[in-house]
A and B are shown apart, each in its own frame.
Chain A
């Protein structure tokens, strides 16, 4: 019986390669998540004002939760929009 090995990638000669990014909030010089730091928060918010998913930004689950809290605080203080039309 033939064994079919499916890799899910067509080609195989040049597989789609993406370097695994590490969480931007871990490491020795990681910035502190702060609702007052707009410059930092804006990097994790789309142009529509929505939060960017952590699978795009590579933020760890724990830090993503902290980040969500910070974004919500910044929104309450009208520093960030809830939605951009």
Chain B
């Protein structure tokens, strides 16, 4: 059996309870095929970075799966059929991670001041600054 991480996005209109029912449904599919879900994480109703099938938000669920490929294929097939599922991504991993994923960890420290975030911004304002250094050097020479 192999380890997989599956994230799926469900439509924004359905309730959290229905999302729960969906993940139970996929868990049942996996266990029928000899697999199991080691961890289930509900990330909540999150805003999408762009619209998917006219949706601006979606319910995110992460499943850590230990299942044979056949079971996973069956689950993915049912996800494709299900119209409540906007999108899903399955990644094969060497080991399933313990404890809450990075997504849930960052939720807790959302209100902390941002520290490292100035690094990418330096990329955009790099041009004028290097110009300034050059003119300074030219004056010296």
10 example contacts (A-B, Cβ-Cβ < 8 A) are as follows A11-B140, A36-B62, A42-B120, A52-B123, A56-B123, A73-B91, A75-B49, A77-B9, A77-B60, A78-B9
Interface residues of B (CB under 8 A from A): 7, 9, 48-50, 52, 58, 60, 62, 87, 89, 91, 101-103, 106, 116-117, 119-124, 126, 133, 137-138, 140-141
- Chain A contact-residue range equals 20 to 34
Is the Cβ of B141 less than 8 Å from the Cβ of A10? Answer: yes
Other 8 A-B pairs with CB < 8 A, given A44-B120, A78-B9, A82-B49: A13-B140, A14-B140, A36-B101, A39-B106, A42-B117, A47-B121, A56-B122, A78-B58
Q: Does A43 contact B (CB under 8 A)?
A: yes
Chain A nearest CB from B15 CB (Å) reads 20
Is the Cβ of A37 less than 8 Å from the Cβ of B49? Answer: no
CA distance A36 to B119 in the complex (A): 20
CA distance A6 to B77 in the complex (A): 65
Q: Does A38 contact B (CB under 8 A)?
A: yes
CA distance A46 to B120 in the complex (A): 6
Is the Cβ of B138 less than 8 Å from the Cβ of A78? Answer: no
Is the Cβ of A36 less than 8 Å from the Cβ of B117? Answer: no
Q: Which of A1-15 contact B (CB under 8 A)?
A: 9-11, 13-14
Which of B117, B121, B138 touches A10 (beta carbons < 8 Å)?
B138
Which of B9, B102, B106, B124 touches A47 (beta carbons < 8 Å)?
B124
- On chain B, the residues within 8 Å of A80 by CB distance are 49
